[in-house]
Amino acid sequence: MQSSSRPALLVVELWGLGDLALAVPFLREAARHAQVTLVAKPQWTPLVEAFCGDVALVPFVAPWTAFTGKYRLWSWPWRELRALRRTLRERRFDAGVSARPDPRDHLLMLLAGARRRVGFSRAGSGVLLSTRLADGRTLHRAEAWRRLAATQGWAMPAPAGRLRPVAPGAPIVLHSGAARATRIWPLARYADLAGRLRGRGRTVRVLCDAGQLAEWRRLGEAGATSPPDPRALIDAVADAALFLGNDSGPGHVAALCGVPPFTLFGPNLPAIFSPVHPAAAWVDGHDCPYKPCRDYCRFPAPHCLDKITVDEVWTKLEAWAGRH
């Protein structure tokens, strides 16, 4: 049980599963020094419970995290926003932190009454912060959290330098989903990779988003499943030998479970969002003058991802899988 003499810390991470997974090492370290309150989406509760149970979660879906219509202010949940402000102010935070260079996070920390507000300034948001950090848009998110820890006087441990043992015959987990279509490599190509891996004697377990199940059935993958929540996802990947998937949350969850991830990047950059694991590997998306654009492509299809061929991935994946 945490001591009441510990400082109260507000952590803001309002976005996706992968974003929160990258924050977990910070949250664990913070919980050793402070009473930590995390504001995050309610659907990520199982992830918090599984990896940082000492952190108090205040669930909130921020309207500005929607992919479309995020600035239709008349449709924002103003009553819920006021209730969130009251709930947070009652906790009398000594400090608040956010790893995103996002003025909306910084305003939320101010409205929450956090006496010291630490973040990466952007678009003039430094006026909302007590301590301004630079270069937030070019840092790997894990490094951003490490720099925030340093401002609190904490030294976060480096990522584990060894691989965990796995059972003989442990499967390679393939997850074909992502929150946005711009990050999804074609399923038929994943099916090709699964066939090649099985041809090398590897067991492959296919996971996907719910909307992809029918296509996997058409591709002959009758055993494909869609984990309904982060707890089910953790259970489905925890015993894996390796993980293969898109630039999306499941790869980061696999890394938290100690499973080496292999990621197919498209509009995003590995230098900013690669999963944190000593054996992590990836194929980078093809060149585009607009990268990183993350979720909003200027073209009818994300060429940076669609141009990645099966042979291009297989050349690297086969060698990587053989080492592990």
Indicate whether 183 and 284 sit together in one domain: yes
Average pLDDT, the chain: 93
Q: What is the CATH number of the domain that holds 46?
A: 3.40.50.2000
Reading the block at residue 34, the tokens are 């402070």
Across 76-92, average pLDDT: 95
Indicate whether 141 and 202 sit together in one domain: no
Beta bridge partners of 283: 264
Domain count, the chain: 2
Indicate whether 197 and 134 sit together in one domain: no
Which SS3 state, helix, strand or coil, does residue 97 take? strand
pLDDT surpasses 80 at 67: no
Strands (E), the chain: 8-12, 35-40, 56-59, 95-98, 116-120, 131-133, 172-175, 204-207, 242-246, 261-264, 281-283
Indicate whether 181 and 141 sit together in one domain: no
Beta bridge partners of 59: 40
- pLDDT tens for 210-241 read 999 999 999 999 999 999 999 999 999 999 99
Indicate whether 24 and 113 sit together in one domain: yes
Beta bridge partners of 242: 172
Residue 267 DSSP one-character state: S
Phi-psi region of 135 (alpha: psi -120 to 50; beta: other; left: phi over 0): left
Q: Any idea which residue has 């510990």 for tokens?
A: 6
**CB contact set of 218 (below 8 Å; sequence gap of 6+):** none
For residue 288, being part of any structural domain is answered with: yes
Indicate whether 141 and 185 sit together in one domain: no
Per-residue confidence (pLDDT) for residue 89, from 0 to 100:
97
Range of the domain at 292: 172-323
Question: What does pTM read for this prediction?
Answer: 0.93
Indicate whether 87 and 33 sit together in one domain: yes
Indicate whether 48 and 130 sit together in one domain: yes
Burial (CB count within 10 angstroms: exposed 0-12, middle 13-18, buried 19+), residue 6: middle
Nearest 5°: phi and psi at 180? -130, 145
Indicate whether 207 and 237 sit together in one domain: yes
Reading the block at residue 54, the tokens are 């000492």
Side by side, which strands form the sheet with 261-264?
A: 204-207, 172-175, 242-246, 261-264, 281-283
Indicate whether 14 and 64 sit together in one domain: yes
The residue type found at 221 is: E
- pLDDT tens for 22-65 read 999 999 999 999 999 999 999 999 999 999 999 999 999 999 88
Nearest 5°: phi and psi at 37? -115, 125
13 closest CA partner among 100, 122, 120: 100
Residue 196 DSSP one-character state: H
Per-residue confidence (pLDDT) for residue 161, from 0 to 100:
52
> Which of the pair, 36 or 158, is modelled with greater confidence?
36
Reading the block at residue 309, the tokens are 């061929």
Reading the block at residue 25, the tokens are 């090492």
Per-residue confidence (pLDDT) for residue 162, from 0 to 100:
56
What is the chain's alpha carbon radius of gyration, rounded to the nearest angstrom? Answer: 20
| CB 222 within 8 Å of CB 246 | no
Indicate whether 134 and 221 sit together in one domain: no
Indicate whether 102 and 193 sit together in one domain: no
241 closest CA partner among 173, 193, 318: 173
**Least confident segment among 75-79, 217-221, 273-277:** 75-79
Last residue of a domain, one of 92, 122, 151: 151
Q: How confident is the model at residue 160 (pLDDT cuts 50, 70, 90)?
A: low
Q: Give the percent of the chain with pLDDT over 90.
A: 80
Q: How confident is the model at residue 5 (pLDDT cuts 50, 70, 90)?
A: confident
